[in-house]
Amino acid sequence: MTIFVNDIAPSLQGEGEFAGVPIVILRLMTCNLKCSFKDGGFDCDTYYTWDKDRLGTGRHMTAEEILNEIVGYSSDVASNVVMLTGGEPLLWQNNREFNHLLRLLRSLNYSVHVETNGTIKPTRTTQDLIDVFAISPKHKQYPNRYTSESFLPFEHTHHFFKFVVGKFIEGKGTLFEFLVEKKVPYTDLIFIMPMGGTPEEIGESILYIIANEVVEKLNEMGYKRVFMTGRKQIEGGFK
């Protein structure tokens, strides 16, 4: 068995709790969601990992082949963080080669982070071998893919939430309603990411978030660990 890989590259983490940390990105192919403006949200910025016309750009790799590339990048810097993203990396958690890779990384003292949309329940093995879960729910596009128990499997793991926010936060199906309906704990760490594919669009979203006091309203609801964060990784990172 192999793992379907889109890219392996050095970077700096640009989002969430570990922003600024040197990482090696392992981006996997395929996703169980197809986010777009047509869903009432925003276009996926990594559509090439699941678009049927782009699947030929991926590589089928063994755990050892992936590890060799990761070691080649990370040996140049004082970084031991590998971030699995996609697509949706938890689609691969029942793949033997995927679990073999996680064990290899653990044996070499790598810290493994996973970015997930939170719609797939992590297995016990995954929970044991992943150090950090960055959960980025698609609360506008696919609210019905989440239940009040969706995030319980992450409860005893090191995790945090990332929510992309822009002008679409208003109206039915807002972030505020989602947090309450899906029972996201008040104690959880939450990052607000401005929506946008360009610096100009991101800037507009930041102004919108500030003008509408999104963080302050979440604080009033009882969510006290809420912060703003950047969007996207810093490609090229430490090379």
169-228, pLDDT tens digit by residue? 454 458 899 999 999 999 999 999 998 777 888 888 899 899 989 999 999 999 999 999
Comparing 32-36, 160-164, 168-172, which segment has the lowest mean pLDDT? 168-172
Q: What is the pTM of this model?
A: 0.91
CATH for 3-235 is 3.20.20.70
Using CB atoms within 10 A of its CB, is residue 105 exposed (0-12), middle (13-18) or buried (19+)?
buried
Token pair in block for residue 128:
């044991």
CA–CA–CA angle 46, 49, 52 (5° rounding): 120
Residues 6+ apart with CB under 8 A from 42: 35, 36, 140, 141, 164, 166, 168, 195
Angle between helices 96-107 and 63-74 (to 10 degrees): 30
For the chain, the domains span: 3-235
Q: What is the pLDDT of residue 238?
A: 44
- pLDDT digits over 50-106, tens only? 887 777 778 999 999 999 999 988 766 657 999 999 999 999 999 999 999 999 999
- Measuring CA to CA, which residue among 26, 41, 12, 18 is closest to residue 189? 18
